[in-house]
Amino acid sequence: MSSRTLPHGSWPSPITAASLVAGAATVVEVRADGHDIWWSESRPDEGGRLQLVRRSATGSIDELFPPPTDVEAWNARTALHEYGGGAWNVRDGVVVFSNWSDQRMYRAGIGAEPAAITPVPSVNRGWRWSEPTWIDDDWLLCVRESHEPDVVAEHGEAMNELVLLPADGRAADDPTLVRVLVTGPDFVHAPAARSDRIAWLQWSHPNMPWDVTTLHTATIERGADGQPVGITGVRRLAGDDNESIVQPAFSDDDELIACSDRSGWWNPYRYRLDDGGSDGADSAGGGNDDGAGVPLMAGVEAEIGGAMWVGGLRWWAQEGNGRVVCCVTADGGDGVGVIADGRLHRLDTPFTNVGQVVAGGDGSTLLVAASPTNEPAVYRLTLDDPPASGAASVECERVSPERTAVCGPEWISVPRHVTFDSAPGRVAHALYYPPTNPDVDAPDGERPPLLVMIHGGPSSAARHRLDLAKQFWTSRGFAVVDVNYGGSTGYGRAYRELLDGQWGVVDVEDAVAAAAYCGDEGGADADRLAIRGGSAGGYTTLAALCFHDTFAAGASHFGVADLSALAADTHKFESRYLDGLVGRWPEDRATYEARSPIEHTDGFDRPLIVLQGSEDEVVPPNQAEMIVAALAAKGVPHAYVLFEGEQHGFRRAESITRALESELWFYGRIFGFEPADDLPDVPGAVGL
């Protein structure tokens, strides 16, 4: 029995909003450079910038960029597709990276000042770069997204191309040295190279990369001086109208491996480059069993692959003796497997979330991985040398440093994966976190308030890993259920396609069902149910509050309020996303209006807090302001917090802290408890 009895929500906790960001460094991507290991870290207390860190073969830790002294500090982050990813790479101690403030690409090494290697665009950030990949010592294969005014005027949107870029910086003063290899498709991405053989993925509107992608290959053509001049032998190797292919890469025997969901699940296939395919970028695939490739293993109903929201994603890697180590996603979490002898063998690791799988320079495999009690970190995984069997042994060594723990393990709420009935004929999934605090008991018979969390995307998923932002709530006495509604990734293509034409219906039904499930199972107070989400999750939050009476309150983080406005005013990557989720715009205007919360403000009668970045180009601030105006007109209690300088998602320490504290203050007012934290009032709150 604990020493104190306090109402849920008022429990004191060492997991404060400030502690979440103080010294925090979330590992994002990892790469090997010989025996050196590099990774990127997102640092909220440095303005949310991405620092690049090296651990040398001797174990020393070095940072590429000096400490920030102003807002123009070096930041290895690209704005390609607005969501970024794949902003950097390293070879022989030379790092190339896209810098956030101007989006030019630079090269640098430890102790060396970065030098630009891309031209100056006509407007700031006019060219955006991603996935730099060396084809030899002198040239980089890159994805370039042009936002140059003349390009946008001609095409009506930004243009995405596959280009070659001199690695030595010659193109910084001569744009003609950038060689365009592939142009025409709406999107090109995930380039791979092995000497002069290259591969890439492409897709076009209205598809998203988890709907349809095609796999292409070509050979670099060189002039008499040995310099590349273009490509030849372009072939569409694989992909059809109901297939998503991700992460192509060359194998040790110079074949191509990529993951396809043609079976209903992303699984790896091998593609022979000397067979199949046809000339021409738009020709149909042939050979390789009619473009299908050869499965690397007996098929499994688990995902080895995922949604390409960002660049730089890696789900598999070939280790030193030819075996393939991979991330395996099933039942709401990730594991690690090894493919050998045509079979997948699950490995015994503590990980439930694997964000990166990359070949190490010494025959090992590098992971960015996490568990329910550990935040993402870099690990070196080494398998036993004999051919893998079901009992293959594995060693895991942590590579990135540990930060000082905010709390002991007794404070951590470990989730369980739950499956529950939703609308007739459907089930949905979630991760349920019970309230956890070793120092406090709740009053007898009191059930906790429940936060129903809705992930963004919507074609994304809840992550099964330690997230102190969730523990912030559970340690104060909240129950949390993180919903993987129909449309989420990780459960196969059929589950993902449940959201086709049904956004605002299936996701909302599953959120409501998750709340009912937690109430029925005794895990929540049916009178204190709240829903919260960001971006697409913010839309589901608003729709649930507008069209249902399940929830007593909600929190919208940069959420979509007007589907019509989103269809008419968003960035290129998602400009046709709603064609699949809702319907064609403007032909299906009636459906857009029927599902837009802003068109049904009479349905808003529950308190709401709205949190929004001032520079958000994905969901512009006017979306938030329309809802706030509607709440004010109806006299519904609400609060609106605008974060100056923030984009889509909050990266700065002060923004993250303020957002959490404002939301806790809001729930205290709505649910009638006094938080233990010393919280400032939210300026401008109405009716609270």
Residues 517 and 373 in one domain: no
pLDDT tens-digit map of 565-617: 889 988 999 999 999 999 999 999 999 999 999 999 889 999 999 999 999 87
Q: Is the pLDDT confidence value at 386 over 80? A: no
- Counting the structural domains of the chain, the total is 2
Residues 447 and 547 in one domain: yes
Q: Is the pLDDT confidence value at 281 over 80? A: no
How high is the pLDDT of residue 648? 84
Mean pLDDT of 51-55: 98
pLDDT tens-digit map of 193-234: 998 999 999 999 999 999 999 999 999 999 999 999 999 999
Beta bridge partners of 214: 202
Point out the domain boundary residue: 380, 400, 420. Answer: 400
What is d(CA 390, CA 367) in angstroms, rounded to the nearest whole number?
21
Residue 161 located in a structural domain: no
Q: Is the pLDDT confidence value at 278 over 60? A: no
How high is the pLDDT of residue 247? 98
Residue 687 located in a structural domain: no
Which of 314, 296, 318, 297 has the alpha carbon at shortest distance from 305? 314
How high is the pLDDT of residue 273? 87
Q: Is the pLDDT confidence value at 277 over 50? A: no
pLDDT tens-digit map of 78-100: 999 999 999 999 999 999 999 99
In this structure, what token pair is assigned to residue 280? Answer: 């021409």
Residues 489 and 342 in one domain: no
How high is the pLDDT of residue 254? 84
Residues 377 and 416 in one domain: no
Residues 592 and 467 in one domain: yes
Q: Is the pLDDT confidence value at 320 over 90? A: no
Q: The domain that contains 506 carries what CATH number?
A: 3.40.50.1820
Residues 351 and 446 in one domain: no
* Alpha carbon distances (Å) from 647 to 82, 217, 624: 10, 36, 14
Edge-first strand order for the sheet with 374-383 is: 353-359, 365-371, 374-383, 394-398
Q: Is the pLDDT confidence value at 390 over 60? A: no
Question: Residue 309 — pLDDT band, cuts 50, 70, 90?
Answer: very high
Q: Which domain holds residue 534?
A: 410-671
What is d(CA 157, CA 575) in angstroms, rounded to the nearest whole number?
10
Mean pLDDT of 157-184: 97
pLDDT above 70 covers what percent of the chain?
A: 96
Mean residue pLDDT across the chain: 93
Beta bridge partners of 200: 216
> Residue 539, SS3?
helix
How high is the pLDDT of residue 526? 95
Residue 542 located in a structural domain: yes
Residues 610 and 534 in one domain: yes
Residues 392 and 535 in one domain: no
pTM recorded for the entire structure: 0.94
pLDDT above 90 covers what percent of the chain?
A: 85
- Side-chain half-sphere exposure of 30, counting CA atoms within 13 A: 31
In this structure, what token pair is assigned to residue 669? Answer: 């007012």
Residues 523 and 457 in one domain: yes
How high is the pLDDT of residue 580? 97
How high is the pLDDT of residue 385? 64
Maximum alpha-carbon separation in the chain:
84
Question: Residue 392 — pLDDT band, cuts 50, 70, 90?
Answer: low
Question: Residue 521 — pLDDT band, cuts 50, 70, 90?
Answer: confident
> Residue 565, SS3?
helix
What is d(CA 644, CA 614) in angstroms, rounded to the nearest whole number?
5
Residue 631 located in a structural domain: yes
pLDDT tens-digit map of 469-495: 999 999 999 999 999 999 999 999 999
Residue 650 located in a structural domain: yes
Residue 502 located in a structural domain: yes
Q: Which residues contact 123 (CB under 8 A, 6 or more apart)?
A: 147, 148, 149
pLDDT tens-digit map of 491-514: 999 999 999 999 999 999 999 999
How high is the pLDDT of residue 388? 47
| DSSP codes joined into one string, 122-155 | SSTT-EEEEEEEESSSSEEEEEEEE--HHHHHHH
Token pair 């695939």 is at which residue?
285
How high is the pLDDT of residue 619? 82
Beta bridge partners of 338: 325, 345
Residues 380 and 434 in one domain: no
CA angle 209, 211, 214 (to 5 degrees): 65
Q: Is the pLDDT confidence value at 187 over 80? A: yes
pLDDT tens-digit map of 437-459: 999 999 999 999 999 999 999 99
Which of 339, 320, 296 has the alpha carbon at shortest distance from 382? 320
Cβ-count burial of 391 within 10 angstroms (0-12 exposed, 13-18 middle, 19+ buried)? exposed
Residues 384 and 440 in one domain: no
Residue 616 located in a structural domain: yes
Residues 354 and 457 in one domain: no
Point out the domain boundary residue: 377, 400, 423. Answer: 400
Point out the domain boundary residue: 346, 379, 400. Answer: 400
How high is the pLDDT of residue 45? 85
Residue 484 located in a structural domain: yes
